[in-house]
Chain A
Amino acid sequence: MDTIIHWLKEVINYFSYPSWSFSMFAICFISALFIRRIWTRQGLVLFLLAVTLGGWAALKDENFNTTLLKPDNAPIFLMVYGFGICLFVAMMQAHNNDRRMEQKLPPAEKETSDQKTWVWPDLVYIELLCMILCTVGLVVWSLTVRAPLEEPANPGNTPNPSKAPWYFLGLQELLVYFDPWCAGVVMPSIIVIGLMAIPYIDVNPKGNGYYCFKDRRLAILTFMTGFFIMWNFLIPIGTVLRGPGWNFFGPFEKWTPHKVVALTNVNLSEYVWVRWLYPMGNWLHLNWMSGGLPVTDNTLSLHNLWQVFKKEFLGIGFLVFWFLYLPGAMARGWLRGFYEKLGFGRYSVAIFLFLTMALVPLKMYGRWLANLKYIVDTPWIKF
């Protein structure tokens, strides 16, 4: 029995590594959204049972216990249950309405949406009850779990790992793959701008004021990818699976500061000039090819700019392809209807946000599959 449990823990540790867990979660989550049988009351009960029993069993492990029950991790529990239950509540109604609309019935909300209810007493009492329940929950939570208070602040003693507040840990996790200017400043800004832009990008008139999935698939899948797969999934990863040195630790692995992880990340330009062009140039006896990485410095002279461009031509070419060629190609291709509905300006904003979002997992996979460090590495800006 012990060997089986040990073996099981090893397997879970192995598959918890972000490349595996992120991929598996993304695939399972997206495909689950389409499967109606999942989004039922039985499904919700099974989900709650699985999380509770799985979590309870896992907490028997000493290492997982210490990692998960760190003082300020309490919101992670609330998050898993809260988001899980709400996802079920939303998707149950969405699929129910889809089913109704397939039978040419109006959505369930429509049955009572033309009637009016007195706010007093019907709404104010619901609100009162919610407030009372919320207060009771908070008081019980406060009585049972103490607010964390560690040793007094000591600027000379850096804890390892140093972590941001839990809701920013998804962004901190992205620091593994992106530089701080990108993961810490530009991406949060783009997330906020992108969220604000949603009502002006999504011109689909369907699904206004009722739950549905089928009529808004593209919008819901995009939002869910950002909200659940990227923002909400990376938070527990950053909380539970990142230990000293921000190294990866499986849930049942002991956090030790002595874990050494080889840093073997390679720039795209190094792939191009050192690993591909150098041997090819030698073989073809072409000197310009076998010269290795073009030498650059940080001056703004024309010669240096040309050297930088030469060194990074594939990365720059990729970004040009990604942000300048793809939008046009897609507007003529499979997004033609979308483009015609939105017009040039809105389409440009929408597709920029969409492609930027897609670039995040793309670079993560670049790291996992090819140890990719920077796509473009200039002396002034690295991406």
Chain B
Amino acid sequence: MLPLFDKIKENVLESQVKKSIFRVGIPNTDRKRVLIMLGNVFLHLHPTKVRTSGVKLRYTWCAGGLSFFLFLVLTLTGVLLMFYYRPTVDLAYTDMVDIREQVPFGIMRELHRWSAHAMVIMVMLHMFRVFMTGSYKPPREFNWVIGVILLVLTFLLSFTGYLLPWDQLAIWAITVGSNMAKATPFLGAGGPGAEFLQLNGVPLIHAGDDARFLLIGAKELGGITLNRFYVLHCILIPLVAIIFMAVHFWRIRKDGGISGPM
């Protein structure tokens, strides 16, 4: 048996197929540890070596990494949910009920929702950690700014997703939120200063063209709002977030890797 086992092992580990995918093999030498980091598109996000102090969990809490991981979980579960969810006033809620009731042991929606809440918390924790270690100080100032943008995008992602179940919780939470846009100074129909923006007595800012209208696509929450939030939630904001994440991660490397005392 043993020679056969060795033979199989050799065939698997030394095969052309395996070598064409994993060029380095088991990284048991320093040279291979460098090569595996450089030769893998996902791993090469990292350098080959990092400050020992920065690896420690009590320093980073892995908060940034977990924020990104939660984003990936949300992307995966979100895509799966998109197979079953149709963003129309008639179907959205019934699709939700179907996802909930018709799938045995189905937890995709639970995973998506709880991951979303966890991501909001994790991103805030990451910001807190970066503040407490003073990691926003030179040369990492700009990456902190990118991070704040990512925090806002996280809130927007969660906020736009909140409407999609089209239940009472959803539409009233979004009503409360989007009513704020009505109060935008100058650009909201109910906001201070809007009355001054008029042409020959015709108001330029009214309920049909103000900031709230831009957000929800109508004067009242409705099908077009659902569609708008769906596109924002599934396409536009994730795309923007991915671009900012790319810059964020790249800048970590360019600004000297994980922070540490000089």
Contacts and interface: CB of A to CB of B under 8 A. Distances in A.
Do A and B interact? Answer: yes
Interface residues of B, number: 103
A130 B107 contact: no
A27 interface: no
Interface stretch (B11-19, B110-118, B228-236): B110-118
Interface stretch (A205-213, A256-264, A280-288): A205-213
B97 interface: yes
A175 B262 CA distance: 45
Interface stretch (A15-23, A162-170, A303-311, A317-325): A162-170
Contacts of A79: 121
B interface majority secondary structure:
helix
**B100, B192, B196 interface centre (most CB from chain A within 10 Å):** B192
A141 B70 CA distance: 14
A126 B158 contact: no
Given A94-B132, A149-B100, A75 B52 contact: no
B183 A147 contact: no
Contact of B55 (A107, A126, A157, A198): A126
A155 to B, nearest CB: 7
Interface string A310-333: 000000000000000000000000
Interface stretch (A5-13, A109-117, A345-353): A109-117
Contact of A152 (B50, B128, B142, B168): B168
Contact of B62 (A111, A119, A127, A195): A127
B46 A119 contact: yes
B261 A192 contact: no
B137 interface: yes
Contact of B120 (A110, A167, A205): A167
Interface string B97-129: 100100000010111111101101100110111
Interface in A183-213: 184-186, 192, 195-196, 198-200, 202, 204-212
Contacts of B117: 74-75, 78, 166
Given A106-B261, A118-B30, A380-B195, A149 B167 contact: yes
Contacts of B129: 86, 90
B111 A116 contact: no
Interface stretch (B1-9, B172-180, B198-206, B237-245): B172-180
B110 A145 contact: yes
A139 interface: yes
A82 interface: yes
A interface majority secondary structure:
helix
A227 B128 contact: yes
Given A164-B176, A185-B188, A145 B58 contact: no
A116 B33 CA distance: 13
A1 interface: no
Contacts of B141: 199-200
B113 to A, nearest CB: 4
Given A78-B121, A147-B113, A116 B137 contact: no
Contacts of B96: 149
Nearest to A118: B33
A186 B111 contact: no
Given A120-B43, A208-B135, A109 B59 contact: yes
Contacts of A147: 100, 109-110, 112-114
**B70, B112, B125, B158 interface centre (most CB from chain A within 10 Å):** B125
Interface in A223-264: 223, 227
Contacts of A103: none
Contact of B152 (A82, A116, A166, A192): A192
**A83, A131, A135 interface centre (most CB from chain B within 10 Å):** A131
Given A117-B55, A141-B114, A198-B144, A184 B168 contact: no
A51 interface: no
Given A109-B59, A163-B173, A209 B111 contact: no
Contacts of B30: 118
A118 B137 contact: no
Interface in B122-173: 124-125, 127-129, 131-138, 140-142, 144-145, 148-149, 151-152, 155, 158-159, 162, 165-173
Interface string A133-153: 011001101110111111111
A74 B93 contact: no
A195 B146 CA distance: 11
**B46, B56, B128, B188 interface centre (most CB from chain A within 10 Å):** B128
Given A163-B172, A207-B137, 11 more contacts: A93-B58, A107-B261, A119-B46, A162-B176, A164-B177, A180-B180, A181-B188, A181-B191, A202-B137, A208-B135, A208-B261
22 contacts: A74-B117, A78-B118, A93-B58, A109-B53, A112-B52, A120-B37, A124-B43, A130-B57, A131-B69, A143-B110, A153-B93, A158-B172, A162-B175, A162-B176, A167-B155, A181-B185, A181-B191, A184-B181, A196-B144, A199-B145, A207-B134, A380-B193
Interface of B: 27, 30, 33, 36-37, 43, 46-59, 61-63, 65-66, 69-70, 73, 89, 93, 96-97, 100, 107, 109-115, 117-118, 120-121, 124-125, 127-129, 131-138, 140-142, 144-145, 148-149, 151-152, 155, 158-159, 162, 165-173, 175-177, 179-185, 188, 190-193, 195-196, 220-221, 259-262
Can you list the 5 inter-chain pairs with the closest CB atoms, starting with the nearest?
A184-B180, A142-B110, A199-B141, A180-B183, A112-B52
